[in-house]
Amino acid sequence: MAESSKGRMAFRFVFWAALSAVLFTVILRSHYSGQMASWYYHTAAVDGYAVHADEFVNATKEAPALLQVGKFERIEGLQAVPVKKGDRLPANANGVILSDVLKAGKRASLQGEAVKVTVPWEIKTAKGFKYKDTFKHKGIETWPWAAVWNVFMVIGLGIALGFMAEGFTDIIGIKLEKIRHFEGH
Amino acid sequence: MFDFVIAGIQAPIFLLVFVGFTVGIVGGFIGVGGGYMVTPALIVFGFPGYMASGIDMTHIAGKGVVSTVRHRQLGNIDWTMALSMVAGTMLGVELGVRLLVYFKGLGLSTIVLLITSVLVMFTLFLYTQIETRRAHRKIEQMSQDGESVGREIQTSSLPKIFQNIPLAPIVRCRTARVIISMWVIVLVGVVTGVLAGFLGVGGGFIRVPSLVYLVGASTHIAVGTDLVEIVFSGGYGALRHSIEGHVDMMAVMFMICGALFGAQVGSIATSYVRGPAIRYILSYSLILATCGAVLRLAYVLTGQKVESLSFLAVMLTLGEMIFLCLFILSLVVFAVRHRKGKSVPQWVPPLVV
């Protein structure tokens, strides 16, 4: 009797541990294959130029970054791809420099066949804290199903890990019983 | 260092795991999401403000599930109460967010938000502290008189008033042993939801005292039931933040790894203590969070020029996490010593079982 109960506990623990491992693998695979980023930086939310903002974060007015404009499939280094609102972003793009920003010319401007960036970041405040805000993440739209995927993964991971932990404490003999809330009343 | 491609920063994994672990302990013990502690910590690690909120909310949903599973095993969840409250909570959160947008439109959001936080948290601290001290003294008296002391001692007379409201449908919450109008539970959900949505937090630190002092649930059941609410409100918040693109799943995953262990410790620790011990820790977390909010308010009111105020607020918040964890862990150690008949400080026996 005790043997079969132990076997059941072990099976439960192994099942939930395996499920947790599968979910971790799926998340890590999505990260390393670039799928997570491609879902995240999915479409352009505005008209402008898709860029890889990390490439020119050190540009200054004295040493501006010049981005080569073209219809590239994948953005490599200092390149920019013109996009319209709703267009699928090219691979490796992580932000869009808005057409309005280019027209204003304070932070970036069009110079012939190139985009010239002079002020790649600004200091902004959120919840009373200051942080460096760049062109990264600007003018992009995340694939809505990626949000559902996130919630599904996080809840799934919570369930699997929660039951795995419960199985583990059962196996090592930590017997947790229901609290008698009203004992002594 | 791990390269968080979506957040655009590099941060050490162990810091995220550590934050997940500490907030897991506190959250599992007092039934809060811990948003007011995690968001500043993430900003200190270099995450942009919008990302910090999104990552925090998404991790809260996952951590909430882990803690809920354990509290379910301990019998700390009243499903009737939890499910009756869900709709009210969601409606309240949405109303709270809209209220925030309204104040943002008037250009007042930060100041109104901080003043409301300070007022709400300080009032809750005062009431919880006074009531819990009274309960603590009552337990001491009962022990001296040789009476048997239960898991929960609560001295507030507010629950009786709310339980006597004769508004149908009346629901019977079997686990909590409470018979009450469903509208009271829904209203608690709406009001706490509005505050949570307005203040941008999960709302556990408002909902747990509300469930204890208005609905009349025992503290353990309030904690477990609130965690169910946190799963729903956190899940909804995670969806909204994810749609807006404010979530880096890798950061969330590392935090959940830490929370897995922390939530176990926090949840299991509740089985070693009486209700007033949980309420004490909750009230200390409230006063520490109030001090943090006061410092941030002072920073905003001084035109964000005195940087040391902001720095102090962050340090206080991070210190709070560690202080609360140590407090909870020492309570468990004292409880174990007390069970074995070893010496413990005089204030401990009434708080532990």
Contacts of A31 (CB under 8 A, 6+ apart): A37, B5, B249, B250
Q: Give me the residue spans of the domains in chain A.
A: 3-35+145-172, 43-141
Task: Provide the H-helix boundaries in chain A.
Answer: 2-32, 35-40, 99-104, 144-171
pLDDT digits (tens, 9 = 90+) for A147-168: 999 999 999 999 999 999 999 9
- Would you say B131 and B156 are in contact if contact means Cβ atoms under 8 Å apart? yes
* Beta strands A65-69 and A79-83, pairing class: parallel
Lowest mean pLDDT among A44-48, A133-137, B84-88: A133-137
Name every chain A residue with its beta carbon within 8 A of the beta carbon of B200. 127
If one looks up domain A43-141 in CATH, what number appears? 2.170.190
Whole-number percent of chain B with pLDDT over 90: 42
Q: Look at phi and psi of residue B143 and say left if phi exceeds 0, alpha if psi is from -120 to 50, else beta.
A: alpha
* Beta strands A129-134 and A43-44, pairing class: unpaired
pLDDT at A2 over 70: no
Residue range A54-72: average pLDDT?
Answer: 90
The Cα–Cα gap between B320 and B290 comes to 11
**Both tokens assigned to A66:** 């010049």
Check residue A126 and give its pLDDT: 65
What's the pLDDT band for B172 if we cut at 50, 70, 90?
Answer: very high
pLDDT digits (tens, 9 = 90+) for B217-262: 999 999 999 999 999 888 888 888 888 888 899 999 999 999 999 9
What's the pLDDT band for B67 if we cut at 50, 70, 90?
Answer: very high
**Both tokens assigned to B230:** 């946190």
Contact between A158 and B253 using a beta-carbon 8 Å cutoff:
no
pLDDT digits (tens, 9 = 90+) for B266-298: 999 999 998 899 999 999 988 988 888 888 788
Q: Where are the beta strands (DSSP E) in B78-197?
A: 170-173, 178-181
Check residue B327 and give its pLDDT: 93
Name every chain B residue with its beta carbon within 8 A of the beta carbon of A157. 62, 253, 256
What's the pLDDT band for B35 if we cut at 50, 70, 90?
Answer: confident
In this structure, chain B runs to a length of 353
Q: Give the residue from B78, B109, B88, B89 showing the smallest Cα distance to B179.
A: B78
Contact between B49 and A36 using a beta-carbon 8 Å cutoff:
no
Q: Which residue of B has its CA nearest to A125?
A: B49
Q: Which residue of B has its CA nearest to A135?
A: B8
Check residue B109 and give its pLDDT: 66
Q: Which residue of B has its CA nearest to A153?
A: B62
pLDDT digits (tens, 9 = 90+) for B194-225: 887 777 676 788 889 999 999 999 999 999 99
Rounded (5°) CA angle B143-B145-B150: 40
What's the pLDDT band for B125 if we cut at 50, 70, 90?
Answer: very high
pLDDT at A28 over 80: yes
Check residue B41 and give its pLDDT: 83
Check residue B37 and give its pLDDT: 79
What's the pLDDT band for B143 if we cut at 50, 70, 90?
Answer: confident
- Would you say A158 and A23 are in contact if contact means Cβ atoms under 8 Å apart? no
CA–chain centroid gap for A88, Å, is 17
pLDDT at B348 over 60: yes
Name every chain A residue with its beta carbon within 8 A of the beta carbon of B63. 158
Task: Count how many domains chain B has.
Answer: 1
Whole-number percent of chain A with pLDDT over 90: 51
The Cα–Cα gap between A169 and A130 comes to 43
The Cα–Cα gap between B318 and B37 comes to 7
pTM for the whole thing?
A: 0.87
Check residue B128 and give its pLDDT: 92
ipTM for this model: 0.88
Check residue B28 and give its pLDDT: 92
pLDDT digits (tens, 9 = 90+) for A103-138: 988 899 988 889 999 988 888 776 566 777 888 888
Contact between B220 and A179 using a beta-carbon 8 Å cutoff:
yes
pLDDT at B180 over 80: yes
Residue range B97-124: average pLDDT?
Answer: 79
What's the pLDDT band for A3 if we cut at 50, 70, 90?
Answer: low
Check residue B258 and give its pLDDT: 94
- Nearest CB to B5: which of A37, A146, A148? A37
Contact between B75 and A176 using a beta-carbon 8 Å cutoff:
no
Contact between A157 and B253 using a beta-carbon 8 Å cutoff:
yes
Check residue B48 and give its pLDDT: 79
The Cα–Cα gap between A166 and A62 comes to 60
DSSP string, A142-165: --HHHHHHHHHHHHHHHHHHHHHH
CA distance, residue A45 to nearest chain B CA (Å): 11
Where is A45: in which H helix or E strand? Answer: none
What are the Cα distances from residue B270, in Å, to B67, B70, B264?
11, 11, 10
Residue range A24-44: average pLDDT?
Answer: 92
- CB neighbourhood size of A2 (10 A): 6
CA distance, residue A162 to nearest chain B CA (Å): 4
- CB neighbourhood size of B350 (10 A): 20
* Beta strands A65-69 and A114-117, pairing class: antiparallel
Residue range B26-41: average pLDDT?
Answer: 84
The Cα–Cα gap between B66 and B263 comes to 7
Q: Look at phi and psi of residue A172 and say left if phi exceeds 0, alpha if psi is from -120 to 50, else beta.
A: alpha
Check residue B283 and give its pLDDT: 92
Name every chain A residue with its beta carbon within 8 A of the beta carbon of B256. 154, 157-158, 161
Average pLDDT of chain B to the nearest whole number: 87
- Nearest CB to A151: which of B61, B177, B221? B61
- CB neighbourhood size of A32 (10 A): 11
Size of interface A-B (CB pairs under 8 A): 174
- CB neighbourhood size of B164 (10 A): 9
- Nearest CB to A179: which of B49, B65, B271? B271
Domain that holds residue B137: 2-351
